[in-house]
Each structure stands twice: as structure tokens, then as C-alpha cells.
């Protein structure tokens, strides 16, 4: 494969692009701004995210991947075109690159075909698709080709993917639509209920990232937020703590933990023995939540590992596959 080839993670929360021989070259929020009148994309990533809650009527903010489902293949085509154009602007001089695209586990055959066709239309010479949980496992350093059981939990923006892997495939896997965005919604509801104070989803996400915690033993931090006092209807500020965020997201954490336990109970004994030895790998953006590894270890009795930059593991996995065509041909989604 040529050095112009790209690996792309179409995540619910973040789009990440890996360029062969160079590493991560693009990391942007999975948000686009659409002009409804002109029917064209006017902003992507951080620029579009900064517009959330502030747009005039003709501008619509869209998440192209929601709850693990590609909502609009036409927008995906524009995004792929944007990635290639941006990569070329960085002096990569690409001509007809090969693309490896990490796709959500819940995508249908129709959506996969649409993504492949979109890749071809934007100038790719060849488009490979790979399931995000499998790419994340590869990016975490797991040799998925061995007869050795591993469990990978990918907690992203819209979904939590839990997969038991062995011999290059998923032995057991399950996806639930409970992850980072569900936590944001719970934070909004909790603050409204407890403090009679209203904040937006973007503020809730910032609270989760900056002071959130998944285990009560983690340090209690504070953060001041701006919003609306629901008693007076006027703009106001409020100081919140990590304890508030922990209490708000606890129902989501409990649901994820229960699903992990359920998968472990279904795992065949030989693979379960491997998992006890190898531990649980947690990846995805929510893996950065303070104390999450400790919580999962305590609740399951299995050592839990969080790799460095867990939100980039899927993109890193596509990067490894760019170097290993034999493995790519084994694990690609047909």
C-alpha cells in the first residue's frame, strides 16, 4: 500500500484520520453544519460544534453517525471528500488513495454499501470496511489472530460495543445504545431536577470531560457553568462538583456494567479463563473518564486495562491494517 493511504474512524463522537507513515492527521468532533436552503455542508468538526445551540433557522447541526447508525450516507460522502482535501492540503500529494474505514457495529448492509460507494466517488482506488470494535482491538495491541480469548469494550459517544474475540473474529458481541451521549442527557436532567437549573448538552459534555468521574474514590473537582435559573427564568451561573456528575451518570454506568457481566456469563469457559488472565480492555472516548477502569475491575472481578489515548485506538487499528494487507483481507467487512 502507498503512503498516501488513509485509515478513517467514523465514530459517533469523533472522526479520526490516520495517514500511513505519518500517524493521526485529523481528529475532529463528528458534527457538521448544513445550510438547509442551499443543501450544502458549510462546516465540519470543531467549527460546526461551536455553532451548536447558536444557529439561525436555515443552519442545521447534524451528527452523521448517531447511536451507532449512519444517518445520511450523502453527508458521509462530503466528509470523506473533506478528509482527502484536507490531507492533500498538508502536502501529502495523494492520488487515488486506498481507504480503510472503521464503521459502527450496528451498520446495515445498505449503509456499508453506501459508504463504499461514497469512498469510490471521492476518488479512492479501493475502499475496505472494518468493524470499529475489531479495529479498536487491533489498535490496542491485541493479536486477534491467536486462539486466545480477549474482551474489548468500546464506549463511544452513541454506543457501547462489547466483543469477545478469538482467532480473528467475534465469538460473542453485543452493542447497546448507552454511552457518552446518554451520560450527557443524564447530566442535563440531574442538574435540572436537583438545582432547578438548565444547561445545554455541550455544557454537560464539558462537565463530564473536565470534572466527571466513574468511581467515588476519585478526587472531587469543581466547575462553574453558565445556564438558566428555572425559578427566575434568567441567565445565571452554578458551581458543580465531580460528585454531582458521578450521581448523574450512575444509571448509565450501571447499565454498561450489567451488560459486561451478562457477556462474561455467556462466554465459553476456555475463553473465560483467557479473559481472567488477559484482563478487560476498555477503549473509546469514555474510557478517559476518571476511575472507570477501577469501577469495572471491582464490579467484574477482572483486571481492567485502558490503553494510552483510548479514543484513538480504532484509527490506530486501521493504521496497523494499512501495513498488513493479509490481516486486512481476513478481518474486512464484506
Give, in order, the Cα–Cα distances in Å from 24 to each of 6, 314, 322: 10, 11, 13
- Looking at the DSSP bridge assignments, the partners of residue 206 are none
Gap between the Cα atoms of 102 and 130, Å rounded: 5
Query: pLDDT truncated to tens, each residue of the chain (334 aa)?
Result: 456 789 999 888 899 999 988 899 999 999 999 998 877 889 999 999 888 878 888 999 988 888 778 888 888 888 998 888 888 776 655 568 889 999 887 788 888 898 999 999 988 889 999 988 899 999 999 988 889 999 999 999 989 999 999 988 888 988 999 999 999 999 999 999 999 999 998 899 999 999 999 999 999 999 999 999 999 999 999 999 999 999 999 999 999 999 999 999 999 999 999 999 999 999 999 999 999 999 999 999 999 999 999 999 999 999 999 999 899 998 898 7
Judged by DSSP in three states, 331 sits in helix
Gap between the Cα atoms of 275 and 150, Å rounded: 5
Contact 17, 119 (CB under 8 A): no
pLDDT of 138: 94
pLDDT of 94: 53
All three cell numbers of 119, joined, read 469512498
DSSP H helices in 106-179 = 109-121, 132-139
**42 phi and psi angles, rounded to 5 deg:** -110, -15
Longest dimension (CA), the chain: 64
Closest of 242, 253, 64 to residue 155, by C-alpha: 253
Q: Which top CATH class is 144-306?
A: alpha beta
CATH number, domain 6-31+65-135+313-331: 3.30.420.40
- 6-31+65-135+313-331 and 144-306: identical CATH topology: yes
Q: Where are the domains of the chain?
A: 6-31+65-135+313-331, 144-306
Gap between the Cα atoms of 172 and 275, Å rounded: 13
pLDDT of 308: 92
The pTM for the full model equals: 0.90
User: In sequence order, what E strands does 30-185 have?
Assistant: 32-35, 40-44, 59-62, 65-66, 69-70, 98-103, 126-131, 150-155, 160-166, 169-176
Contact 321, 244 (CB under 8 A): no
Gap between the Cα atoms of 26 and 63, Å rounded: 17
Amino acid at each position: 500500500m502507498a503512503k498516501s493511504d488513509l485509515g478513517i474512524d467514523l465514530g459517533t463522537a469523533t472522526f479520526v484520520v490516520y495517514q500511513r507513515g505519518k500517524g493521526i492527521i485529523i481528529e475532529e468532533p463528528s458534527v457538521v453544519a448544513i445550510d438547509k436552503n442551499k443543501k450544502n455542508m458549510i462546516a465540519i468538526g470543531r467549527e460546526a460544534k461551536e455553532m451548536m445551540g447558536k444557529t439561525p433557522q436555515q443552519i442545521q447541526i447534524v451528527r452523521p453517525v448517531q447511536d451507532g447508525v449512519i444517518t445520511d450516507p450523502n453527508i458521509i460522502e462530503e466528509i470523506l471528500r473533506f478528509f482527502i482535501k484536507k490531507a492533500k492540503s498538508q502536502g501529502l500529494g495523494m492520488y487515488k488513495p486506498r481507504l480503510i474505514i472503521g464503521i459502527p457495529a450496528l451498520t446495515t448492509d445498505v449503509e456499508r454499501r453506501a459508504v463504499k460507494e461514497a469512498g469510490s466517488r471521492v476518488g479512492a482506488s479501493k475502499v475496505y470496511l472494518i468493524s470499529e470494535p475489531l479495529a479498536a482491538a487491533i489498535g490496542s495491541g491485541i493479536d486477534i489472530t491467536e486462539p486466545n480469548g480477549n474482551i474489548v469494550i468500546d464506549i463511544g459517544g452513541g454506543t457501547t460495543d462489547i466483543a469477545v474475540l478469538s482467532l480473528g473474529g467475534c465469538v460473542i458481541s453485543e452493542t447497546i445504545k448507552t454511552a457518552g451521549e446518554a451520560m450527557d442527557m443524564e447530566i442535563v436532567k440531574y442538574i435540572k431536577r436537583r438545582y432547578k437549573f438548565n444547561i445545554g448538552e455541550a455544557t454537560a459534555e464539558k462537565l463530564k470531560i473536565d470534572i466527571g468521574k466513574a468511581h467515588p474514590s476519585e478526587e472531587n473537582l469543581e466547575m462553574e457553568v453558565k445556564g438558566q435559573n428555572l425559578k427566575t427564568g434568567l441567565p445565571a451561573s452554578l458551581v458543580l462538583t465531580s460528585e454531582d456528575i458521578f450521581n448523574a451518570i450512575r444509571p448509565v454506568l450501571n447499565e454498561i456494567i450489567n451488560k459486561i457481566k451478562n457477556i462474561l456469563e455467556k462466554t465459553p469457559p476456555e475463553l473465560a479463563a483467557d479473559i481472567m488472565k488477559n484482563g478487560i480492555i476498555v477503549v473509546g472516548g469514555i474510557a478517559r473518564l476518571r476511575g472507570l477502569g477501577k469501577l469495572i475491575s471491582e464490579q467484574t472481578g477482572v483486571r481492567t486495562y485502558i490503553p494510552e489515548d483510548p479514543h484513538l485506538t480504532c484509527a490506530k487499528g486501521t493504521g496497523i491494517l494499512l501495513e498488513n494487507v493479509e490481516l486486512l483481507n481476513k478481518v474486512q467487512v464484506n
